[in-house]
Structure 1
Amino acid sequence: MRMKHLAIVAALVLGLTSSAFAGQKIKIAGSTTILPIMQRVVEAYMKANPDVEIAVSGGGSSNGIKALLDGTTDIAMASRTMKDKEIKMAAEKGMNPKQVVIALDAVIPIVNKSNPVNDLTIDQLQAIYAGKVTNWKEVGGKDEGIVVVSRDTSSGTYETWSHFVMGKTRVFPGALLQASSGAVLQAVAKNPRAISYDGIGYVDNSVKPLTVNGVEGNATTAKDKSFPVARTLQVYVDGSVSGAAKGLIDFILSPEGQNIVEEAGFIKL
């Protein structure tokens, strides 16, 4: 009888847990870099909380932050930190955005698998993206023109590349802009002369990753910051998050959530 009683109590507790957030809806938007992490996390979270409705969309870090400030999303995914002007805009609206770092990342230069180049320095990458170096032979490759592929300006990955690689130099107008991390990967995989950059979770065997200043981008070099283009991945919420949204963020930061980060190809905290 005691075992039966305990089973009933356990069932009641589980029922309360699964229905604690019943009817709550969460909107998540922003970084396409974080998108594969969030999609996996949301799938696992909704299995445990089937009564919660969650909508996830990309669009880029800037668009995600804008949506948060406009009140059209609950959680903004961002592969860069908020800019001063965005923080000021939030303050003017009476908002208090909170940053929650959920993973680490290395933004890795990628080329076509047929390209013999293995390593580029920050200076060489900057010269290529500024349009000053236009032939692969200038950096140890074949005698053929370089096709520069870049993320679009609403992307946090673009902002990261601008900060760590370009500095005050602008990406030249001839660069082919792509709207998502996946599109970047496909563009480089299909073009033997192309170069671009992508978050570590997207880089697969369809392209060739390059070392930067002789350093490979991986979990160790991202954590110790020896890789020159390492960054945090974060979400933003307005003020003190609560309810199902807090439950989701707590889940991302839990050991199970961090394992999902790693399974998605990114670097857990």
Structure 2
Amino acid sequence: MVDLKSATFLKIAFCLFLITVMGIIPMSCNEENTGSKSIPSMSLADFPALDCSTSTQPLSVILASKVLGLPYQWWQDQAVTQVWYVSIDWGKTSLTESQRDLLKSKLNCSTTHGSYMNLLDGKVELIIASRDISRDEQKYADSKNVKLITRPIGKDGFIFIINKNNPVNSLSIKQIQDIYTGRIENWKDVGGNDATINPYVRNANSGSQEKMETMVMQGLTIIGKPGMETGTMAGPFYEIRKDVNGIAYTPFYYYNIMTRGQDYAKAIGIEGVLPNKKSINNGTYPYVSEIFAAIRADTKRDSYAYKLFEFLTQKEARSIVEESGYVPLTSTTNMKTS
């Protein structure tokens, strides 16, 4: 027999147990629901038209796959460039042919400059680019009286590559500048072989060229040699593959993720620091850049394009940025209107 005092104690204890459990369960559900709501939910028809840089193509497609609940896959362009890209895994979706065509029309990749121009011209609604708006693009925006809102969403490195058979492993900031201004013309002057340096450049307004001019050269004039300009992201790798005396530049992400597996080009250190995710994340590598999301300032705040832009600039999007292979930001507060 259980006395009255013991029964009362057991009843109180059981009630407290129920209160504790009932308090815990909703908290867990709320946390899970909050996480699931962090990725905007929208239909294929509502999904905005995107554009991107070549090097941000994987992130752009992975973002679409997460928002639309579709599988994605990495694939390699083995016939031409050997570069890795991301696509929707169409064979594992139930999309009709017309739905596929609609989504493909919304996932553009017009290069960095092309994506900014398309955004300024109102041809797309949101872009993910390898850099902020360039000087020439800002002039064009001003001429059209169009303002953009841009915000960093991830980190990248700006690196220099040479042929793997070149013995040089690191250059100083000044040596890089001297090579591209023509003051240093022979590899022996920087610890290499007695051979003429072939400095390759990118085309004007490309993401890489804009970074080279503003981040590395800082106002110094690049002395371009005939035949040294490459017009695509794959161009520097094509040249370095066959030119043991060449030097070129590219985003670290493109080198590390999109040309993974290549065995002919190596990234060199700057001031003795090699580019990798750790040195980019902690800032010890000298040339750390950012990738940007950009949208027109006149975009309606209740539009799906703006909702997606807002998501990209919040901490909940960092897992998608990291999944794509980029280094996520620890803070995403530096939004600006230009």
Change (3 A) 1:191 1:221: same
Alignment match of 1:196 (pick from 245, 248, 262)? 248
Gap runs ≥5 in structure 2: 1-35, 72-94, 330-338
In structure 2, the partner of 1:217 is 275
Point out the more displaced range, 202-211 or 137-146.
Answer: 202-211
Point out the more displaced range, 49-58 or 177-186.
Answer: 49-58
In structure 2, the partner of 1:265 is 325
Alignment match of 1:136 (pick from 187, 198, 222)? 187
Q: Are residue 183 (structure 1) and residue 235 (structure 2) matched?
A: yes
Q: Are residue 99 (structure 1) and residue 150 (structure 2) matched?
A: yes
Which residue identity lines up with residue 49 of structure 2 in the other structure?
K
Point out the more displaced range, 196-205 or 241-250.
Answer: 241-250
Which residue identity lines up with residue 227 of structure 1 in the other structure?
Y
Q: Give identity over the alignment, percent.
A: 26
Structure 2 CA distance for aligned equivalents of residues 214 and 87 of structure 1:
35
Question: What TM-score results when the alignment is normalised by the length of structure 1?
Answer: 0.80
Contact 1:97 1:237 in 2 (8 A): yes
In structure 1, the partner of 2:120 is 69
Note the alpha carbon deviations across 1:97-119, whole angstroms, 9 max, x for none: 11132211111111111111010
Change (3 A) 1:45 1:223: same
- Equivalent runs, 1:223-238 vs 2, <5 Å: 223-238=281-296
In structure 2, the partner of 1:60 is 111
Question: What TM-score results when the alignment is normalised by the length of structure 2?
Answer: 0.65
Structure 2 CA distance for aligned equivalents of residues 191 and 84 of structure 1:
32
**1:155 shift after superposition:** 1.0
Contact 1:65 1:77 in 2 (8 A): no
Change (3 A) 1:148 1:253: same
Which residue identity lines up with residue 120 of structure 2 in the other structure?
L
- Equivalent runs, 1:144-155 vs 2, <5 Å: 144-155=195-206
**1:224 shift after superposition:** 3.8
Structure 1 CA distance for aligned equivalents of residues 135 and 254 of structure 2:
29
Change (3 A) 1:33 1:22: closer
In structure 2, the partner of 1:44 is 66
**1:30 shift after superposition:** 4.1
Structure 2 CA distance for aligned equivalents of residues 167 and 246 of structure 1:
34
Q: Are residue 32 (structure 1) and residue 32 (structure 2) matched?
A: no
**1:56 shift after superposition:** 3.0
**1:250 shift after superposition:** 5.1
Which residue identity lines up with residue 50 of structure 2 in the other structure?
I
Contact 1:69 1:90 in 2 (8 A): yes
**1:78 shift after superposition:** 2.7
Larger radius of gyration: 2
Change (3 A) 1:18 1:217: closer
Structure 2 CA distance for aligned equivalents of residues 32 and 38 of structure 1:
10
Which residue identity lines up with residue 178 of structure 1 in the other structure?
T
Structure 2 CA distance for aligned equivalents of residues 202 and 32 of structure 1:
9
Query: C-alpha root-mean-square deviation of aligned residues, in Å?
Result: 3.1
Note the alpha carbon deviations across 1:187-220, whole angstroms, 9 max, x for none: 3233222211111112245321111011222334
In structure 2, the partner of 1:4 is none
Point out the more displaced range, 129-138 or 235-244.
Answer: 235-244
Which SS does the other structure have where 2:107 is aligned?
Answer: strand
How many residue pairs align between the two structures? 254
Alignment match of 2:165 (pick from 104, 109, 114)? 114
Structure 1 CA distance for aligned equivalents of residues 244 and 324 of structure 2:
27
Contact 2:195 2:245 in 1 (8 A): yes
**1:79 shift after superposition:** 2.3
Alignment match of 2:178 (pick from 112, 119, 127)? 127
Contact 1:63 1:154 in 2 (8 A): no
